[in-house]
């Protein structure tokens, strides 16, 4: 009987403790949930002043909108850029542009600062909503050239490499990487962006088995002696591999999974029927490559290859967003 008495006592004790425990837990949960929004709000309020959003666009605009004659395409591109609300815009193929003309366009998307590499051939340029300092116009031994500028406290190299020869692109890589080597001794924020005209080793798996693209490139080399983009009859990834090894980080590759999200050229501008799918043999040759410090604060990176940019250029624009500290 004693054993039974103890059993009944314990059971009664447990029945009394349960409501007490559950009431305490319920009260604790209510207090925690009540305080959580205050804690989160406090964190947001303390972090906002120390961070700035930086949105960067790189865009090959195709022959300067046909040397300024394609007014409709030019206006549509300006409207699209304005809608993105960028902080820095790097442009390639500014054919027939002057600094004054570039600044005129830039003001339409909210930028009062601009610089251009040169006034002939295929210039690159940059616009910003903050002052720009030109550090170097790189022209010697370059196919189109590169523009080294500083804005937003970041060193930008706006490039446009040879479309005809992987050997020449390696020579251009030698030049840019040697200059970057000097920059990174005193600077951890730098970006190389533009039309590299080169394939990335990160995309190699997607090109594997694409016999039609390889056949088209072989045919092009057979017809044109100056075109040599294949290495021993195979796709060449060495140029971009050198930038990755520097290291520069391919932010679009990091923030995407499939080649469809990365395709940058050609666009649908040559295809009137947009329902037919991608035109020709699309590939990725446009990049935003960043220093490790900037990759660490990159929150978004994409090639905008949807319908809104089908007919703005023969390339698609690349966008990256960063959250910068003080």
pLDDT (tens digit per residue) in 59-90: 999 999 999 999 999 999 999 999 999 999 99
Closest alpha carbon to 303 in 269, 271, 257: 257
Pair (145, 270) in one structural domain? yes
Pair (127, 1) in one structural domain? no
Closest alpha carbon to 129 in 82, 75, 93, 80: 82
Q: What is the pTM of this model?
A: 0.84
For 28, the domain range is 1-50
- Match 């007014």 to its residue by tokens: 71
Measured distance CA(53)–CA(145) in Å, rounded: 29
Measured distance CA(78)–CA(88) in Å, rounded: 14
Pair (179, 34) in one structural domain? no
Residue 205: the pLDDT is 96
**pLDDT tens column, 267-301:** 999 876 555 667 888 999 999 999 999 999 999 99
Residue 34: the pLDDT is 52
Beta bridge partners of 149: 134, 156
Confidence of residue 320 (pLDDT cuts 50, 70, 90): very high
Measured distance CA(31)–CA(175) in Å, rounded: 61
Pair (285, 139) in one structural domain? yes
Pair (173, 69) in one structural domain? yes
CATH number at residue 287: 3.60.10.10
Coil/strand/helix, residue 91:
strand
Pair (193, 251) in one structural domain? yes
Would the pLDDT of 41 be above 50? no
Backbone phi and psi for residue 251, each to the nearest 5 degrees, phi listed first: -70, -30
In this structure, how many other beta carbons lie within 10 angstroms of the beta carbon of residue 32?
Answer: 10
Measured distance CA(261)–CA(305) in Å, rounded: 7
Pair (61, 46) in one structural domain? no
Pair (5, 61) in one structural domain? no
Pair (303, 242) in one structural domain? yes
Pair (30, 131) in one structural domain? no
How many structural domains does the chain have?
2
Pair (58, 26) in one structural domain? no
Would the pLDDT of 103 be above 60? yes
Pair (140, 12) in one structural domain? no
Yes or no: say if 254 and 262 are a contact pair by the CB < 8 Å rule: no
Yes or no: say if 159 and 146 are a contact pair by the CB < 8 Å rule: yes
Measured distance CA(65)–CA(75) in Å, rounded: 10
């Amino acid at each position: 009987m004693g054993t039974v008495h103890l059993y009944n006592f314990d059971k009664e004790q447990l029945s009394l403790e349960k409501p007490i425990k559950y009431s305490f837990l319920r009260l604790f949960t209510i207090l925690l949930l009540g305080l959580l929004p205050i804690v989160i709000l406090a964190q947001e309020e303390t972090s906002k002043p120390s961070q700035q959003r930086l949105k960067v666009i790189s865009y090959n605009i195709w022959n300067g909108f046909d040397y300024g004659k394609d007014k409709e395409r030019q206006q549509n591109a300006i409207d699209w850029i304005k809608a993105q609300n960028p902080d820095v815009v790097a442009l390639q193929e500014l054919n027939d542009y002057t600094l004054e003309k570039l600044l005129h366009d830039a003001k339409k998307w909210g930028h009062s600062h601009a610089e251009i590499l040169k006034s002939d051939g295929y210039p690159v340029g940059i616009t910003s909503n903050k002052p720009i300092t030109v550090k170097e116009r790189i022209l010697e031994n370059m196919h189109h050239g590169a523009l080294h500028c500083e804005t937003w406290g970041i060193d930008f190299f706006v490039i446009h490499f040879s479309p005809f020869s992987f050997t020449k692109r390696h020579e251009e890589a030698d030049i840019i990487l040697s200059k970057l080597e000097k920059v990174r001794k005193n600077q951890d924020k730098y970006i190389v962006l533009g039309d590299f005209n080169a394939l990335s080793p990160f995309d190699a798996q997607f090109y594997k088995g694409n016999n039609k693209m390889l056949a088209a490139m072989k045919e092009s080399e057979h017809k044109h002696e100056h075109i040599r983009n294949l290495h021993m009859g195979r796709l060449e990834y060495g140029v971009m591999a050198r930038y990755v090894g520097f290291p520069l980080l391919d932010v679009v590759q990091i923030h995407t999974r499939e080649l469809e999200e990365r395709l940058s050229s050609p666009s649908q501008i040559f295809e009137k029927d947009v329902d037919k799918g991608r035109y020709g043999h699309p590939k990725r040759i446009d990049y935003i490559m960043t220093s490790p410090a900037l990759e660490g604060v990159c929150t978004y990176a994409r090639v905008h290859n949807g319908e809104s940019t089908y007919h703005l250029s023969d390339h698609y624009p690349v966008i990256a967003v960063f959250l910068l500290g003080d």
